Amino acid sequence: MARVYTNWERLVRATLEREQLRNAGPGHERRPSGISGAVQLPPSLGRATNIDAILQAADEIQAENPHVARILCEQAYGMAQNLDPNSEGRGVLQFKTGLMSVIKQKLAKRDGGRIDRNRDIEHLWEFYQLYKRRHRVEDIQREEQRWRESGTFSTNLGEYG
């Protein structure tokens, strides 16, 4: 229980620090690295979607599971394609070209073989199950439910100073 509370405090503190840096003005925001840093998300796509969050998630799991990272990048590409199929928005063509390059060069099979997309759902499901076990997601959800039922857990976090 103490570990969950400590992790929650660290998460809130990191989020507040990130927001403070973001509000400090241009040039002070966190510079993404990896996949999300290799391609610049155009503002026209960033406002309407969570493509950036998907690419950041792909960054985080790329070393652990390159198949799932590739699937996430392909999903982000598909979202961009659906939003602007003719690449008319400023920077959209460069974004899609760069992302496709990342997918082909960094995330495709290194041995030059073809990617078997027939198993993509299976890869996602296996990764999800492993993630849930590793991070004890169900235990955390049960603990949160107990807190809510006991009245000791409040969703109103108030102001932090």
| 27-83 pLDDT per residue, tens | 444 445 577 677 888 888 877 688 988 999 998 888 888 889 999 999 999 999 999
Burial group, residue 95, by CB count within 10 angstroms (0-12, 13-18, 19+):
buried
8: in domain: yes
145: in domain: no
141: in domain: no
68: in domain: yes
Domain count, the chain: 1
Amino acid at 135: H
- Distance CA(117)–CA(54), nearest Å, equals 19
161: in domain: no
15: in domain: yes
- Give per-residue pLDDT as tens, 29-40: 444 557 767 788
- Distance CA(133)–CA(143), nearest Å, equals 15
Specify the range with the lowest mean pLDDT, choosing from 3-7, 35-39, 100-104: 3-7
Burial group, residue 34, by CB count within 10 angstroms (0-12, 13-18, 19+):
middle
pTM for this predicted structure: 0.63
17: in domain: yes
147: in domain: no
- Distance CA(39)–CA(95), nearest Å, equals 6
Domain containing 74 equals: 1-21+31-115
